[in-house]
Amino acid sequence: MLFSSPIFLFAFLPLLLALHALLPKSTRNALLLVASLLFYWWGEPVASTLMVVSILLNYAFGLLVGRAQERNASTTWIVGWAVGLNLAILFVFKYADWVWNGLGSVLLGLGVIDTPLATIGSVPRRLLSASAAELGWLGTLADRHLLLHFPSDELCHRCSTPRWTCF
């Protein structure tokens, strides 16, 4: 659903505004949270699932910080873990393609591999559904292609099978 789509303009937004006006002030933030997640889920379910997990983890870290402050204990380690986890999620889902492509360029330039690494594709979908075989870490360096995903059905130059099945 886009902001300019008819379903957003004539169904989602008017319904949300009406509910927002009718509900008591104490529940409006919860309504907006649920509506936002629904809006994002409509366009990208995997990313929305990640957002819900991130929200719940950050909420749990917030509760831990609150409990630690009540006991006058240090919250440094809790905040450190929360920031580290959020940065890890950001790295995996935003920068993994960039690192993967850079690694492929370096390995190709050094002559370690003779075929460019394929792109990971949509990182959230690929990482959430990747199997050990897709990761390509089987066999020796000479026997594997170190490739994750081939969008086409081109054939392997070594064994004439579809390239995505060859390691």
Q: What string of pLDDT tens digits covers the 167 residues of the chain?
A: 788 889 999 999 999 999 999 999 999 999 999 999 999 888 888 788 888 999 999 999 999 999 999 999 999 999 999 999 999 998 888 888 788 888 888 888 888 877 766 655 544 444 444 443 444 443 433 334 444 444 445 566 666 665 545 54
Quickly tell me which residue has 């659903």 as its tokens.
1
> According to DSSP H, which parts of the chain are helical?
6-7, 13-22, 25-43, 45-70, 76-90, 96-110, 123-129, 132-135
Q: Please state, in angstroms and rounded to a whole number, the distance separating the CA atoms of residues 1 and 67.
A: 40
Does this model's pTM top 0.85? My answer is no
Q: Please state, in angstroms and rounded to a whole number, the distance separating the CA atoms of residues 150 and 128.
A: 17
Closest CA to 145 of 120, 112, 121: 112
Q: Is 50 helix (H, G, I), strand (E, B) or coil?
A: helix
Looking at residue 160, its pLDDT comes to 63
Closest CA to 113 of 160, 82, 84, 147: 147
Ramachandran class of 160: left when φ > 0, alpha when ψ lies in -120 to 50, beta otherwise: left
Looking at residue 26, its pLDDT comes to 95
